Structure 1
């Protein structure tokens, strides 16, 4: 596979050095400071995981404060869902361009810092709009936040592949998802409490509450974006240092991505894109609207509704690395993806057509969501060469965000006009489309001799034969 030499030097540890140079560095450099050693890669992974923490924490600020936003800003459900649509719209184009810019213009390090800055500034504008009682300014903030949010995720994925391509990649994607969902979980369970505490404090002081309380709460949330931006700066320094020490530039092929390469993406990649879109549009918009759903259908209190609505993210935090490890050890990525889709479809059908305790369906959805992410996203690295990775991931998230933007508006309109039952049927239809694409992916990959559904041992043998080190 293209570019395997670069990643092998990171994965194989001290064997990446040769002769006296390796021995000399082993004697003079502590393991935790040695970019070829697993201890140093763990340090890099920590900063890599925290890179997306702030973005994911603030992405679902509206969901955690749905009732407060609608009351304080005087908007209906359709208007509320525009906060998610405005986040997604810029990424229909910019996410793809962000991946291209990472590959061709900025490079991974500068691009990460630029996109992290957009996230931080966008959250500040979003909070300022609430402070001023201007909903249109909140929408502007979400637009700016969106410019950086998904492109930052592309950078995070590219970093992961650059450092961990090989047997560890599914586990690393699982760990990254775990930390991202930790951010979402903390947001779901703490932002309502923060809002209530600020409101109580302002009431006690005789200060007018309302949208001012909302603005202060969102401004506090912006601190997580600043923290993630700092992690991006540190990660860039570590990556630059590793490039110099390991002479990574010498192992590059010199190939560069061209925008016209998109038309040459293999059919397997396009099917992966379809699965991504059809699956995630039935997860994120549902969680964005879920709090009121659980209150109305199951007569939950607001606190109970927040808890069950966030269980998908709570389960994802510990489950993602475990499931990523299992996928690493077994392979069979397409099979795991299909299982995750079927489980998610079952969960949505339980919520739509039964009055069973929703904790059952939401826990099942949490496990399935974690499994799909661990098995789906690493497959991109198996079907495109290294110099196209940023663009491929960017294009994947561009299409995902087009779907999310359209479905966010459609979901709000369906809910206002038809209610939650019709909305759930709509989500089930989206999941069925993802399942059809997964079945097609299995047969297309099988007929084309791909390795997406190979066992871990068979894939390892294939990668070893393709690697320059096997010669």
Structure 2
């Protein structure tokens, strides 16, 4: 019935064009709610963040940066910290501006332009051998890239809530890992080729400039996706704020307790995982006496598994629901993986495989919870806040882990217990979500069919 109603809404001109050009198949593709149309939108949505992920790790993968620019360790580290620290604030503001001022389409394009300009300035700093210019570029790039993630999340909810949202978040994880992997695969050969014509910092700057082409491609995806969304909004007569409410910065203080618990999980879980992987090579060399190559192979297993399994888990969660149960399971098994790696002599590939599967499961089940807790007109602010506290948490946990490592003479056991402690915090926050939702008779841990009945019942009561 909904499909027929939508057909009546489509402009007669568009229908006739589709029928003349290709008949019924093209007509179905022209419908914004059709599977074909949404699948096309999903492709552009996933490619939207490709350029940002591809360019993020350029400094690490191009180790020649230190030699060509004569950088010490502190300067090299600054290239990453200048990306992260500002986003403890700017992600929140970026999300709010999407809700209040820009809208999702214009906001996405603006943030894409910001990160592209940042990458161009970063590359120019390399060409000119000007370190402060590179730092400025990374600062601008970081603001655009992290705010773009917020826009990408809101787009995902707008198009796929109640359908394939968990799978979509999983596919975004996959695309992110593929972009980083592709960067590590192609950038060194490109640098070698450019070095035949240019030397030193100029070669490096040109390679960074070539990397910016991926951002140009993502910008084109933002423009196409914006056009598709504008058309869908017109045909489906969709409103981003049906109640007419205007978002305010202070709205964050009115968010329900489950949202705050989700934010805590973002900090505690991702901090423990990301930092463990960052320090993992040394851990596997000391704990299992691996060579640097062997240690790097096992350490990278989490992201490799996540690239494959994230969409699969997302598909399963879309069919079964029960998001809170899956978050609980993912956190519990991640703690188990850390315990295996720290206190047993089992092959570390077992523990890292469990961790990779758990990481995929959490990503696919946690982020859709925000869309179930927060109204659509506030989603940019909500996702921006989560992104901001995650950046802040990663920065703080990194500092604390470094202090613990120094105090314990690099005894990995204490650092591992530190990570397990943060995962326990995430587990407790998950239990709080479950208890609150059960007490309030909410829909966070329902099956898809139960959620439909829940929404219909709430709508009927409001109508009464």
What band does the TM-score fall into relative to the shorter chain?
0.7 to 0.9
Q: 1:225 to 1:362 in 2, by over 3 A?
A: farther
Match of 1:222 among 212, 219, 229: 212
Structure 1 equivalent of residue 21 of structure 2: none
Match of 1:266 among 256, 259, 262: 256
Q: 1:102 to 1:71 in 2, by over 3 A?
A: same
Q: In the alignment, is residue 231 of structure 1 matched against residue 221 of structure 2?
A: yes
Higher mean C-alpha deviation, range 105-114 or range 448-457: 448-457
Match of 1:466 among 435, 458, 462: 458
- TM-score, normalization: structure 1? 0.85
In 2: Cα distance, 1:242 partner to 1:393 partner = 23
In 2: Cα distance, 1:282 partner to 1:409 partner = 13
Maintained 8 Å contact 2:113/2:219? yes
Higher mean C-alpha deviation, range 118-127 or range 103-112: 118-127
Query: Any idea what the Cα deviations from partners look like across 1:335-391, whole Å, max 9, x if unmatched?
Result: 111111122223333444455443333222221111111100110111111111111
Unmatched 5+ stretches in structure 1: 1-11
Q: 1:176 to 1:376 in 2, by over 3 A?
A: same
Q: In the alignment, is residue 442 of structure 1 matched against residue 434 of structure 2?
A: yes
Structure 2 equivalent of residue 57 of structure 1: 54
Structure 1 equivalent of residue 268 of structure 2: 278
Maintained 8 Å contact 1:99/1:393? yes
Maintained 8 Å contact 1:185/1:310? no
Structure 2 equivalent of residue 14 of structure 1: 3
Match of 1:86 among 68, 82, 89: 82
- More contact order relative to length (CA 8 Å, sep ≥ 6): 1
In 2: Cα distance, 1:350 partner to 1:467 partner = 48
> What SS does the aligned partner of 2:453 have?
helix
Q: In the alignment, is residue 38 of structure 1 matched against residue 27 of structure 2?
A: no
Maintained 8 Å contact 1:293/1:420? no
In 1: Cα distance, 2:65 partner to 2:422 partner = 28
Match of 1:253 among 243, 250, 266: 243
> What SS does the aligned partner of 2:102 have?
coil
- TM-score, normalization: structure 2? 0.86
Higher mean C-alpha deviation, range 409-418 or range 359-368: 409-418
Deviation at 1:27, TM superposition (A): 6.3
Deviation at 1:408, TM superposition (A): 3.6
Deviation at 1:80, TM superposition (A): 4.4
Match of 2:301 among 305, 308, 311: 311
Maintained 8 Å contact 1:60/1:288? no
Structure 1 equivalent of residue 22 of structure 2: none
Maintained 8 Å contact 1:63/1:289? no
Unmatched 5+ stretches in structure 2: 19-26
Q: In the alignment, is residue 171 of structure 1 matched against residue 171 of structure 2?
A: no
Q: CA RMSD in A?
A: 3.2
Deviation at 1:37, TM superposition (A): 1.6
Higher mean C-alpha deviation, range 336-345 or range 83-92: 83-92
Maintained 8 Å contact 2:241/2:376? no
> What SS does the aligned partner of 2:188 have?
helix
Structure 2 equivalent of residue 342 of structure 1: 332
Deviation at 1:185, TM superposition (A): 2.8
Structure 2 equivalent of residue 47 of structure 1: 44
Number of aligned positions between the proteins: 453
> What SS does the aligned partner of 1:254 have?
coil
Q: In the alignment, is residue 146 of structure 1 matched against residue 135 of structure 2?
A: no
Deviation at 1:214, TM superposition (A): 4.6
> What SS does the aligned partner of 1:248 have?
coil
Q: 1:436 to 1:469 in 2, by over 3 A?
A: closer
Maintained 8 Å contact 2:126/2:205? yes
Maintained 8 Å contact 2:90/2:147? yes
In 2: Cα distance, 1:125 partner to 1:353 partner = 47
Query: Any idea what the Cα deviations from partners look like across 1:109-128, whole Å, max 9, x if unmatched?
Result: 11101111122222233334
Structure 2 equivalent of residue 5 of structure 1: none
Query: Any idea what the Cα deviations from partners look like across 1:297-348, whole Å, max 9, x if unmatched?
Result: 5555555444433322222222111101111111111111111112222333
